[in-house]
Chains A and B, each alone.
Chain A
Amino acid sequence: DGGITQSPKYLFRKEGQNVTLSCEQNLNHDAMYWYRQDPGQGLRLIYYSQIVNDFQKGDIAEGYSVSREKKESFPLTVTSAQKNPTAFYLCASSMEGASSPLHFGNGTRLTVT
């Protein structure tokens, strides 16, 4: 079955530590995305990539970094510069084109204390 796998489901870190969230897809999609979800809010775009070795900042990229070395993988690093890192992080992928829907992973809940 094709899909998107995010791991781990729950992640706990101490303040000041960088942490990397994994996202892998086997849907052969070119585009991949990272969204952040906070309670009672919609999803906000962190980074997106439309092709391997290329990515663009979304609306809230500060304090985050990404890489896209393989089509299947789009890891997100939450750095110590991110002021409020505790959130639910969702990875998604899509085929090319504005009418193509996003396919989402089941998310990683990050808690930083």
Chain B
Amino acid sequence: GNSVTQMEGPVTLSEEAFLTINCTYTATGYPSLFWYVQYPGEGLQLLLKATKADDKGSNKGFEATYRKETTSFHLEKGSVQVSDSAVYFCALSSSFYNQGGKLIFGQGTELSVKP
């Protein structure tokens, strides 16, 4: 079945450091891939998405490229800020119509950025 695996956290970085959070997936067909962010006590917010191989999603300085050959969708940011401290979730959506919209999530990676 479909699944998503993220690197374990917590990840602790200093402000302005480079961020990578690894995400790999297993899926049949051609899934869409997403990164969501969750701030304490809140729901999830969409950060970025990619719907086909080699697509790059980007938002607020974050980027991720859909790599079908390595089944990966790693999240990167060149210079993190304290305000980026949150939990980040990688997710995939099945390409089959009758499962459209159902997301499968990774376990989440907590990021803590120190000033």
Contacts and interface: CB of A to CB of B under 8 A. Distances in A.
Interface in A52-88: 58
A90 interface: yes
Interface string B13-37: 0000000000000000001101010
B45 A97 contact: no
B103 A102 contact: yes
A104 B105 contact: no
A6 to B, nearest CB: 8
A50 B106 contact: no
Contacts of B82: none
Interface in A15-41: 31, 33, 35, 40-41
B101 A106 contact: no
Contact of B107 (A35, A42, A90): A42
Contacts of A4: 43
Contacts, number: 74
B43 A90 contact: yes
B93 A43 contact: no
A20 B57 CA distance: 37
B42 A45 contact: no
A43 B49 contact: no
B73 interface: no
Given A98-B31, A101-B49, A45 B102 contact: yes
B44 A96 contact: no
A92 B107 CA distance: 18
B101 A97 contact: yes
Q: 3 tightest A-B contacts by CB?
A: A104-B43, A42-B105, A99-B32
